[in-house]
Chain A
Amino acid sequence: MTETGKTFNIMFAGVGGQGLMLLSAILGKAAVDTGLRVMTGEQHGLSQRQGSIYVHFRIGDPISPLIPYGRADMMIAMEASEALRYIEYLKEDGVVIMSNRIMPSVTETERVVLDKQKKTKYLTVEQIVERLKQVTKNVVLLDSLALAIQAGNERTENSVLIGATAACKDFPIPAEEVRKAVLALVPPKTVDANSKAFDLGRDAGGACLES
């Protein structure tokens, strides 16, 4: 299936409070329900919001809980700059599924305001993607918030990203299993919106990867 024997490696990246752990739980359930083995290395600990966080997510026949550098088949980033922060894990031409959302850090905001000439600008998604493209041509950039709003609930961004993930042809879990896991684990009242968000993400992801 992939480089490391029979293991498919996904690096999740995001910012504390974005629901990375739920995302990991959803894919974990989907994998287990499909009869695949899963192992993760997660970052817990300091419980502050807005810190950089990650999950090493490994499906198939993983041995170590940590993905070795250069061996992630896929990266799912819920915040754009966090995709770049863990780029050393992505294999050449691995797939990046990322939100175009940027949450500037406070130190960056401070640099912007301290520059009297107003030359210091926030890092842009375009700059980030340009860097990512030096490792892979397979970057799926999603306006996850817009798609979530289109699905009827702005809190369904994660389902958009998961939908796009399921559209990836190497992804080892059947899309319908992933959808089932999403719907089983999101709050019951949001099932419809999450289902739509999943479809929108899958269509958007599929379109990106074909072109």
Chain B
Amino acid sequence: MTVEDVKRVDKGSALMLANEAVVRGALEADVKVVAFYPGSPTSEILDTFGEVLDHFKDYKMQIAANEKVALETVAGASMAGQRSFTSMKSVGMNVASDSMYSIAYTGLNAGCVCLIADDPYAHSSQSEQDGRYFGMTAYVPMIEPCTAQEALDMTKWAFEISEKHKTLVIIRTTTRVNHQRGMVNLEKLERTPFKKNKWKDVKGQYFTVGSVARAHKAKLLEKSAAIQSDFEKTNFNFIVPGDGNVGILTAGVNFLHAKEAMQNLEIKLPIFKLGTLFPLPEKKISEYLKSLSTLIVIEELTPYLETQIAAIAKSVNPSLNIIGKKSGHFSEMLEYNVSIVEKVLAEVLDKKPSIDYDAVLSKAEGLKDILPERPPIFCPGCPHRGTLWSFRQALQQLRIRDDIVFNNDIGCYSMAFLPPNEFSDSMLAMGASLGISAGMEMSLDDKVIAMVGDSTLYHAALPGIVNLIHHNSNVTLFVLDNSVTAMTGQQFNPNSPFDAGGQPARKINMEKLFEALGADSITIIDPYETRDCIGPIKEAIEADGFNVIISRRECALYGDRLKKQAGEKIIPSENVKDTCRGIYACVKEFYCPAITIDEADGKMIIQQDLCDGCLECRQVCPVDAPQHMEVGK
């Protein structure tokens, strides 16, 4: 399928996910070192690089412990003369940005590109952060593609800018670009063998502080000006000519929404499509603004472009009427689509939308009133379901549900805030549960409990843990050891004996780590032995000091894949109806999607094709009704 197209040597066209097109672009640019920490909507970039690693064998790849390490890794490679690439989700750049701002000052050597993906509507993120300000505030050039084709072309171009100006280049995308599949033209793929350099041949000086920093800053401003003058000329900033003096200015996927909306409305306004978000091609924009009486600025999230355009308009066309967020036409919320854009264009031009979208939506809403929602849920066989069930039981048995505070963290287990668990007092950002716990532990007369996954543990939780232990804090920590970074697609992490593409790696010994840090107790539980987990959890919660519970069982999706590779079958379970007394603990307390009710007799039934055979439901059942299929036969 499409990874085959990523590997193709010859020219041609292919249907590709934009994330795959980015990989192809980097490969066409002869990238030599890549490093990532996964995060939606960029994870397929990591996954695709991993999948073709063994085929090419001419670039190096690591799954880094977090985004900061990933960015530093590719910056280090660039300093060492190797073209390098990383990508991360919007909030990933928050983690990486400390180094990013310094890298901007020192500059780099070989082409170095970082893609960051914003997520308007927070489909799979904890905030709708607008990452466009990173470019401007760090003086790092930032570009934005709108299609799979542009994703490929701009990735290659980013390497050129980076190398020419010796700077990091950021490609900014949004979910609808990353997860868009489209036709792309592939160039001939010409890779060179990987070759290590000698430092003396490539070396530069990469430090910044005080007077050195001030000198860097002066140079950085010059560099920005030079890049801006390149951006005035690039074809990635272009104007689609149109009729009249009402024009559009936009970037990214909104360019596509706007074009389709105009087609629907049978109008043809001029459009300025920006490919560079920083520096902006101010001269080119000025010329465009001079030709207009009204400008419609279409961008999701904050009025990043609108504010800057308004400032430019002030000097070149003060009477320009700007339609955007400040005028109340567009929201700072929402992910945009054709209908949102079409409605505004219609309003401004005093036309009617091609379809009464509001009527369509309200009719649909009426029709859907019978539709049960389908909330996100743990997969069948997920170990987190068992861990959280025994955690709840432990609290109930100790009668301390109202005397604890539970700080959750980022991963599949974040879903503890949803039914049937519906608890989690905080859930902010990767690793945040530990620092929050430190503050609460000083301030509250309650037991403080935190929870992290294995990937989160090594990503950003360690400093918080060191801090808690160092300060003799009374905190109980759950570590959910499911072998992989589950939520983003089961990538390997420092808790795995593997790295990207299945390369061998050293698994960090979690117990020894906690031992060395001085944890007061370390208890390992198996969430599939769900009932047996309750006792040890109670003990760890009641004990003073820093007590760790490691709940160890691989992610069900990962486990199933391992079974499949080993040729093992998954044996589903069945509910023995003669034993079942219709207590429904399996339904009310457990929420396994394989569990439904037989309306004929009101007894639980297990959907064979969904069941993972984990038998956690048997553990939850007071009368042990569920059992493996074979047992009964």
Contact = CB atoms under 8 A, between A and B. Distances in A.
Nearest to A70: B360
B623 to A, nearest CB: 16
A45 B412 CA distance: 12
A2 interface: no
Contacts of A37: 183
Given A4-B264, A41-B176, A118-B602, A109 B338 contact: no
Interface string A33-59: 000011111111111111110000000
A76 B170 CA distance: 38
A211 interface: no
A68 B342 contact: yes
A63 B263 CA distance: 9
Interface in B360-418: 360-361, 363-365, 367-368, 370-380, 412
B56 interface: no
A71 interface: yes
Nearest to A53: B374
B62 to A, nearest CB: 22
A63 B593 contact: no
A47 B489 contact: yes
Interface stretch (B220-228, B254-262, B299-307): B254-262
A52 B183 CA distance: 27
A65 B182 contact: yes
B101 interface: no
Given A40-B181, A41-B176, A134-B367, A48 B378 contact: yes
Contacts of B179: 41-45, 65
B374 A15 contact: yes
A44 B263 contact: no
Given A47-B490, A49-B379, A103-B593, A63 B602 contact: no
Interface residues of A, number: 64
Given A50-B379, A66-B338, A87-B367, A107 B373 contact: yes
A104 interface: yes
Interface string B344-372: 00000000000101001101110110111
A82 to B, nearest CB: 8
A123 interface: yes
Given A41-B176, A106-B377, A68 B183 contact: no
Contacts of A28: 15, 181
Nearest to A50: B593
A126 B610 CA distance: 24
Contacts of A65: 176, 179-182, 253, 256
B591 A106 contact: yes
Interface in A119-146: 121-123, 127-128, 131-132, 134-135
A123 B338 contact: no
B588 A113 contact: yes
B355 to A, nearest CB: 5
B374 A51 contact: yes
A162 to B, nearest CB: 16
B339 interface: yes
Given A51-B376, A105-B373, A107-B419, A84 B367 contact: yes
Nearest to A118: B602
A47 B487 contact: yes
B67 interface: no
Interface string B518-533: 0000000000000000
B17 interface: yes
B466 to A, nearest CB: 30
B592 interface: yes
A121 B374 CA distance: 16
Interface in A170-187: 185
Contacts of A62: 260
A154 B608 CA distance: 12
Nearest to A85: B371
Contacts of A154: 609
A68 B361 contact: no
Given A25-B1, A66-B337, A85 B557 contact: no
A40 B338 CA distance: 14
B361 A88 contact: yes
Contacts of B584: 113
A48 B176 contact: no
B37 to A, nearest CB: 16
A42 B181 contact: yes
B596 interface: yes
B321 interface: no
Given A65-B256, A68-B264, A84 B368 contact: yes
B44 interface: yes
B215 interface: no
A188 interface: no
Nearest to A133: B367
B15 A29 contact: yes
A81 B176 CA distance: 25
B339 A69 contact: yes
B488 interface: yes
A109 B337 contact: no
B96 interface: no
Interface string B142-184: 0000000000000000000000000000000001100111110
Contacts of B375: 105-107
* Residue from B181, B257, B596, B597 whose CB has the most chain A CB atoms within 10 Å: B181
Given A32-B15, A88-B364, A64 B257 contact: yes
A49 B357 contact: no
Nearest to A155: B609
A154 B275 CA distance: 48
B486 interface: yes
Contact of A39 (B43, B182, B372, B379): B182
B599 A45 contact: no
Contact of B372 (A48, A108, A113): A108
A105 B360 contact: no
B355 A109 contact: no
B124 interface: yes
Nearest to A127: B370
B371 A81 contact: yes
Contacts of A134: 363, 367
Contact of B260 (A68, A104, A112, A135): A68
Residue among A43, A66, A112 with most chain B CB within 10 A: A66
A2 B53 CA distance: 43
B374 A63 contact: no
Contacts of B610: 17, 49-50, 103
A64 B420 CA distance: 39
A110 interface: yes
B587 A46 contact: no
B453 interface: no
B124 A46 contact: yes
A38 B15 contact: yes
Nearest to A46: B124
Q: Which 8 pairs from chain A and chain B are nearest by CB?
A: A88-B364, A45-B124, A108-B372, A63-B260, A40-B181, A65-B180, A68-B338, A50-B593
7 contacts: A4-B264, A31-B15, A47-B488, A48-B376, A66-B176, A81-B371, A113-B588
Interface of B: 1-2, 14-15, 17, 40-41, 43-44, 123-124, 175-176, 179-183, 253, 256-257, 259-260, 263-264, 337-339, 342, 355, 357, 360-361, 363-365, 367-368, 370-380, 412, 419-420, 486-490, 557, 584, 587-588, 591-593, 595-597, 599, 602, 607, 609-610
Given A39-B180, A65-B176, A114-B588, 10 more contacts: A25-B1, A45-B40, A50-B374, A68-B260, A68-B355, A85-B371, A105-B593, A106-B591, A113-B584, A134-B363
